[in-house]
């Protein structure tokens, strides 16, 4: 990657025009080098306006991640985390999975300004344009085995709900097993990947994508209804502060999960479930459907649905959940 791309993007983050001559002077390079860097940025999918006589600018101001701001927000909890920021990376989850295999420490965090191959559940891609989303992953090591981590994605979702409520986004709701919704629109997603033995110890790489401010072009690339925090809040969202708050809530929830599993969190989770006591369709990978009414979640995070065969248990990874068509 062109080494000038992100230094120039930080300069352009104010949303103002900067001439090629001024940029070249600031970085002690030629104007041709600036032009090459702008072209490289555009190949990454970053939109940059270029106007003859005025220079270059981003479509709107962008707040970029800053490690010190995140650590300040964490306060006393910052010792729990080893935060690593990247300008661009293919996938923060893939990176931490590799690091976990190489004995990376508990609490390692990878966050990126731009993900080029971000991944969602079931192999979907996560669209993350510059400044559009907060995307990060957290490595959390457990003494228990992978078999005991049932309900972990639900616990992580609860941490995100608590974070969003700190911002006053009280209409945010959980969708079993790993999405955050506002109404019928997706605001955030969770992807958890595990390493280790079924009996223990084990490690979880927790990937989170949270929409901040989606452009129309980004929305058009996403194959489901989506929303972002900016659409629902009047305050400006600093992603570095948001990262610190989210990590703080994650630490609290994960420590609760370590002590008592999901059972100690299930009642709170259920209060914010978008589909609680509602008619749903359960969509299976083979195309089958099961209709029923959501009764709640069990202490192990399994979804309980009242069907024509009685109350049945459905585990994450087996189904998709949609509101009933009326």
Closest CA to 69 of 56, 58, 78, 57: 78
Q: Are strands 279-283 and 320-323 parallel, antiparallel or unpaired?
A: antiparallel
Residue 92 in marked binding region: yes
How many alpha carbons fall within 13 Å on the CB side of residue 228?
23
Residue 31 in marked binding region: no
- Residue-by-residue DSSP string for 204-248: EEEEEEEES---HHHHHT-SS-B--GGGT-SS---HHHHHHHHHH
Closest CA to 12 of 39, 51, 48, 66: 48
Residue 186 in marked binding region: yes
How many alpha carbons fall within 13 Å on the CB side of residue 305?
24
Closest CA to 154 of 122, 178, 170: 178
Residue 119 in marked binding region: yes
CA–CA distances in Å: residue 131 to residues 125, 150, 214: 17, 33, 8
- Token pair of 53, please? 């006589």
Dihedral pair phi/psi, residue 50, rounded to 5°: -125, 120
CA-CA-CA-CA dihedral for 192, 197, 203, 204, to nearest 10: 10
Residue 121 in marked binding region: yes
Angle of helix 31-43 versus helix 20-27 axis, rounded to 10: 100
Residue 93 in marked binding region: yes
From the annotation, which residues make up the binding site? Answer: 91-93, 115, 119-121, 186
From the annotation, which residues make up the binding site for biotin? Answer: 91-93, 115, 119-121, 186
């Amino acid at each position: 990657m062109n080494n000038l791309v992100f230094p120039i993007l930080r300069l352009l983050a104010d949303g103002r025009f900067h001439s090629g001559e001024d940029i070249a002077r600031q970085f002690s390079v030629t104007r041709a080098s600036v032009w090459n860097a702008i072209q490289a940025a555009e190949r990454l999918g970053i939109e940059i306006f270029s106007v003859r006589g005025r220079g270059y600018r981003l479509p709107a101001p962008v707040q970029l991640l800053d490690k010190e701001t995140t650590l300040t927000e964490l306060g006393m909890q910052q010792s729990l985390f080893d935060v690593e920021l990247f300008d661009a990376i293919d996938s923060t989850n893939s990176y931490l999975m590799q690091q976990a295999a190489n004995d990376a420490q508990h609490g390692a965090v990878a966050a990126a300004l731009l993900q080029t191959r971000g991944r969602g559940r079931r192999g979907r891609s996560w669209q993350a344009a510059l400044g559009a989303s907060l995307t990060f992953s957290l490595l959390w090591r457990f003494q228990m085995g992978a078999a005991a981590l049932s309900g972990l994605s639900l616990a992580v979702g609860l941490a995100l709900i608590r974070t969003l409520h700190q911002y006053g986004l009280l209409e945010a709701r959980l969708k079993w097993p790993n999405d955050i919704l506002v109404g019928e629109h997706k605001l955030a997603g969770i992807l958890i990947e595990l390493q280790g033995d079924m009996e223990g110890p084990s490690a979880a790489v927790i990937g989170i994508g949270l929409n901040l401010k989606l452009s129309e072009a980004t929305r058009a690339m996403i194959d489901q209804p989506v929303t972002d925090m900016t659409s629902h809040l009047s305050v400006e969202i600093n992603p570095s502060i948001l990262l610190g708050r989210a990590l703080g809530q994650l630490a609290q929830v994960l420590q609760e999960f370590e002590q008592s599993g999901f059972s100690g969190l299930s009642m709170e989770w259920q209060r914010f479930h978008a589909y609680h006591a509602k008619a749903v369709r359960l969509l299976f990978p083979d195309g089958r459907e099961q209709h029923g009414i959501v009764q709640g979640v069990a202490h192990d995070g399994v979804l309980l649905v009242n069907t024509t065969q009685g109350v049945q248990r459905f585990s994450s990874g087996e189904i998709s959940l949609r509101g009933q068509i009326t």
